[in-house]
Structure 1
Amino acid sequence: MSRIQANLLLTLVALVWGSAFVAQSQGMADVGPLLFTGVRFLIGAFVVLPLAVLEWRRVGRQDRPLQRRDGWQIAGLGVLMTLGAAMQQIGIQYTSVTNAGFLTAVYVPLVPVLAWLLLGQIAHWSVWPAAAGCLAGAFLLSGAHELNVGLGDLWVAGSAIPWAVHVLMVGRWADRMGAPFLVACGQFAVCGVLSLAAAFVMEPVRWAGLQAAAWPIAYTGVLSVGIAFTAQVVAQRYAHAADAAIILSAETLFAAAFGYALMGERLSTTGLVGCGLMLACVLLVQLVPLVGTLRRRQILTTQSN
């Protein structure tokens, strides 16, 4: 898979995640956020399980079974997913949705910074203006005019750290193991079990609520987790982590589009400007490296002739 193909697959992932916001909004009316998260991630794990089993057998036949370190890394990805979701949800209880939507986007510029600090990776120059533009676009899209930082805001901003580390490491570890489906299934299972355990401690768990939220849970579990998160793991084996963070932030755009189409939500002029800015940044980070690659190929072709 080429880098461009991987970026396009990540764009499709962002599209699916954006559509899932509608289902998540509907499902929250009947169950708590931790219960919703736990059940849908376990469903996602079962969706990927057949592919993970086949991959496990393939790895065994190739005489390169996964090591204990691989298991710990998969578990670590699941813990990062759980921390990101839990911290975000705690913060949302004490802050506005507007503030939460903006502060969650902090992970976008955080990824290239962490890649540089932790891994010594230097991102393409286009990543930095694109990351800043995505953050500004998310601010405009949220409709915020002022941001009064409180305890809830700090929780949501803090959730950007585990999400950024997850985006940074998931493709790297999956590529080293050569087992993206095992990685996906394992991290889903860990996140699902941890979230479900927390739900039994912190939330009312009622069968009637699960039945009422069955369709939203099934939609997000199969599509958003089972298919989209797995596609993220596959695509990030070939995409730069900083590119992935910017492209995946387009879920905000798609969420606004689905909210407009399915729930009658309308954006202000400022929100539309934010959408346009984020879209331009997503295109920037995909097209600028491509133009550079095509120019280099053209120069090499001219020199060879």
Structure 2
Amino acid sequence: MPKQKEMRSALLLLITACIWGFAFVAQREGMTHTGPFTFNAVRFALGGLSLVPLMLVLDRKNSKTARMQTSSSSLAASVAPGLLAGVILFCGASLQQIGLMYTTAGKAAFITGLYIVIVPFLGLFLKQRLQLNSALGAVLAVAGLYLLCMKSDLTLGKGDYYELAGAFFWSLHILVIDKVSRSADVIKLSFVQVLTCSVLSFAVALATETIDLADLSKALIPLLYGGICSVGIAYTLQVVGQKNAQPTQAAIIMSMETVFAVIGGYLILDELLGYRGVAGCFLMLAGMIVPQLPQFKGLTSRSRA
């Protein structure tokens, strides 16, 4: 893979991480006015709408190139993978949003960032090798999770459980996007997945929450940022960036969202983690980075055939 493409992908994924990191702040702030499923339904709908003009412009441009697919055929090819990615996205986004009702933006981001450790372990089911680095990274991350989240009664907080469950879906989402982004139209793929997530969120919101326009207007700024920036821009950049990046490489770059989330929580929400929390963050960050270092010599494990 040309170095220039790798650098471009890395830059796009880093921008994605920055947008997502500050989105934790917007999501938590928006929760003071509306329910988690209503918030997600509206922000993903806004994100999908923001992609429509881009799709129209690109289709008009591509229609002039004979070797490009037609608009209808490229959209059709993006539906199945987009629906799959959208369902997984709905699960991850729902768990994350509910968790933010009970934990801070910084903690939510760091727990979500465990996908950098989970992704290699999920690779075992694809008969990939488990390197010693990944095992060590998992140990460091779990130690950091303990310091960051464990209370005096040695239990995880309610919100922490939701975020931890969500981390598995974010890991699965990274692997799915890596698989489907190489063959589908990335913009249409992004559109289908966010639209799917929005429809599913609306369905649950109508059944479990009260959708109030007055409350939505109070959450307008978080919704606009969470919709246009976090969904419309960032999820599209993720799909484009992962087109020329390996899953674990993409995961380590996107895990920087945790750092941006802590910065945003400190600057905007006055959230402090304390010394124990800061130590936990550093251990988790180390656990995220170690699997991406040059492989240590030692025992490796293969999944069963």
Distance 1:285 1:163 in 2: 17
Does the residue aligned with 1:29 lie in a helix, a strand or coil?
coil
Conserved 8 A contact 1:88-1:155: yes
Q: In the TM superposition, what whole-angstrom CA distance separates every residue of 1:170-227 from its partner, at most 9, and x where no partner exists?
A: 13201122x1111111111111111012111110111111111111101111111111
Q: 2:195 aligns with which of 185, 189, 193?
A: 189
Q: Which residue of 1 aligns with 2:116?
A: 108
Change (3 A) 1:152 1:264: closer
Instruction: Provide the C-alpha distance between the structure 2 equivalents of 1:148 and 1:208, rounded to a whole number of angstroms.
Output: 38
Judge conservation of contact 2:78–2:192 (CA < 8 Å) in 1.
Answer: no
TM-aligned CA deviation for residue 138 of structure 1: 4.5
Once structures 1 and 2 are overlaid, which stretch shifts more, 222-231 or 279-288?
279-288
Number of residue pairs aligned between Structure 1 and Structure 2: 286
Task: Give the TM-score taking structure 1 as reference length.
Answer: 0.78
Q: Distance in 1 between matches of 2:26 and 2:111?
A: 22
Q: Are 1:104 and 1:159, in contact at CA under 8 Å, matched by a contact in 2?
A: yes
**Would you say 1:28 and 2:35 are equivalent positions?**
no
The answer as to 2:262 corresponding to 1:256 is yes
Change (3 A) 1:209 1:8: same
Aligned partner of 1:71: which letter? V
* Equivalent residue in structure 2 for 1:159, among 153, 166, 183: 166
1:38 equivalent among 17, 41, 44:
41
Structure 1: tracts of 5 or more residues without a match: 290-305
AA in 2 matched with 1:237: K
Does the aligned pair in 2 maintain the 1:20–1:219 contact within 8 Å?
A: yes
> Which amino acid is 1:13 matched to?
T
The aligned residue for residue 22 of structure 2 is: 19
Q: Does 1:76 align with 2:79?
A: no
1:87 positional shift: 3.9
Aligned equivalents of 2:275, 2:199: Cα separation in 1: 42
How many Å separate the matches in 2 of 1:226 and 1:147? 39
Distance 1:50 1:209, change over 3 A: same
> Which one of 273, 283, 304 corresponds to residue 279 of structure 2?
273
Q: Which has the higher helix share?
A: 1
Residue 231 of structure 1, CA deviation: 0.9
**1:117 pairs with 104, 108, 125, which one?**
125
Counterpart-to-counterpart distance in 2, 1:49 and 1:88: 26
5+ residue gaps, structure 2: 296-305
Q: Per the alignment, do residues 158 and 231 of structure 1 end up closer, same or farther by CA in structure 2, a change over 3 Å counting?
A: same
Between 1:206-215 and 1:247-256, the stretch displaced more is 247-256
State the one-letter code of the partner of 1:77: A
Does the CA contact (< 8 Å) of 1:134 and 1:246 recur in 2?
no
Q: CA deviation at 1:32?
A: 0.5
Distance between the aligned counterparts of 1:91 and 1:288, measured in 2? 34
Superposition deviation, residue 13 in structure 1:
1.5
Q: What's the TM-score once normalised by structure 2's chain length?
A: 0.78
CA-based RMSD: 3.3
Shift of 1:260: 1.2
2:206 pairs with 1:200: yes
1:134-170 deviations in Å (ceiling 9; x for gaps): 4544443446566536998766544333322111111
- Matched AA of 1:62: R
Change in 2 beyond 3 A, CA 1:52/1:114: farther
Equivalent position amino acid for 1:160 in 2: A
Matched residue, 2:94: 86
Q: Answer with 236-245 or 53-62: which moved more.
A: 53-62
Deviation of 1:269 after TM superposition, in Å, equals 1.9
Q: CA deviation at 1:53?
A: 3.2
Equivalent-residue separation in structure 2 for 1:222 and 1:54 (angstroms): 17
State the alpha-carbon separation in 1 of the partners of residues 99 and 220 from structure 2. 26
